[in-house]
Amino acid sequence: MSEDGAPTADDVPNFERYARQMVFAPVGAAGQKKLAAGRVLIVGVGGLGSWVAELLARAGVGFLRLTDDDRVDEVNLHRQALYAQADADARRPKVQAAAARLRQLNSQAAVEPIAQRLDHRNIAALADDVQLIIDGTDNFATRFLINDYSVKMARPWIFAGAVGAEAQMAVFVPGQTACLRCVLDELPPVCRDPNCRTAGVLSMPVAAIAAFEAMEAIKILLGRLDAVSPYLLKLDLWSNQVQRLNLARHRNAQCECCGQRQFEYLQP
């Protein structure tokens, strides 16, 4: 075990619970050991992050760091996994409630709850020792911050968002794919940045796109970058429409972030 209690590749935890998962050829026993040694930062454990955290814990990912400064609220229970009515009644910090539930789901996973909002001051400390960053946020300012850090430190990250009955997801791998700012070169104005409060949100697209996030995370932790999705995937579960945007076509050599390596969102 590592100093923080997370399994390492040399450990041999009880893999019996993953028997059906290991039958899948790309995983196998060797892949399951890689997952047990995997280290992930999940930024935000609301709708998206809570579902992703549960899926990764159940899959046997060894270390999950959760960061969020919010508390469980009854109005969010319809779309957020891990939380119960008692958590909302007590206004428990999300990371504490999530960590407790994840440990119940899989005692082999080490879960580190950090009751902080990710910003330019703490991102290095929170992300330096993980292999992958997963977006569970609801705003583009934080996503641009994650993108800057990802490009600067060559750390892959997975973006996702859900509003109404729609959801979208993309994997950004520095040096291999476009970055978020190749696709969206500036923060959208508030009036063009709909969120759950202004546009509403259903639980179904949240759970659906979180499953895509978790699947891409597993591929990365297994070292299967060849299988990672090259698309920005958009789902509309109300109209049953699926769209794919090829990110390779949007890679921009003049991008201020990945092209010119200017990381303004990491600055004070």
Q: Output the domain CATH number for residue 150.
A: 3.40.50.720
The upper half-sphere exposure of residue 129, i.e. CA atoms within 13 Å in the direction of its Cβ, equals: 11
Burial call 135-160: b when 16+ CB within 10 Å, e when fewer: bbbbebebbbbbbbbbbeeebbbbbb
Q: How many CB atoms lie within 10 A of CB 38?
A: 26
Residue 146 domain boundaries: 16-266
Distances (CA, A) of 95 to 103, 123, 130, 256: 12, 17, 18, 34
Let me know if residue 8 belongs to a domain.
no
Q: What is the pTM of this model?
A: 0.91
Let me know if residue 9 belongs to a domain.
no
Contact 109, 60 (CB under 8 A): yes
According to the model, what pLDDT value does residue 194 have? 57
Closest to 221 in 3D by CA, of 14, 15, 32: 32
Let me know if residue 7 belongs to a domain.
no
Let me know if residue 29 belongs to a domain.
yes
Closest to 111 in 3D by CA, of 268, 6, 259, 217: 6
pLDDT digits (tens, 9 = 90+) for 44-79: 999 999 999 999 999 999 999 999 999 999 999 999
Closest to 188 in 3D by CA, of 151, 232, 143: 143
Let me know if residue 121 belongs to a domain.
yes
Contacts of 240 (CB under 8 A, 6+ apart): none
pLDDT digits (tens, 9 = 90+) for 146-188: 999 999 999 999 999 999 999 999 999 998 999 999 988 776 6
Let me know if residue 235 belongs to a domain.
yes
- Residue with the larger pLDDT of the pair 266 and 1: 266
Structural domain count, the chain: 1
Q: How many CB atoms lie within 10 A of CB 166?
A: 20
- Of all residues in the chain, what percent carry a pLDDT higher than 70? 90
Let me know if residue 158 belongs to a domain.
yes
**Where is average pLDDT lowest: 64-73, 104-113, 220-229, 243-252?**
243-252
Residues with active-site annotation: 196
Let me know if residue 169 belongs to a domain.
yes
Distance CA 57, CA 54 (A): 5
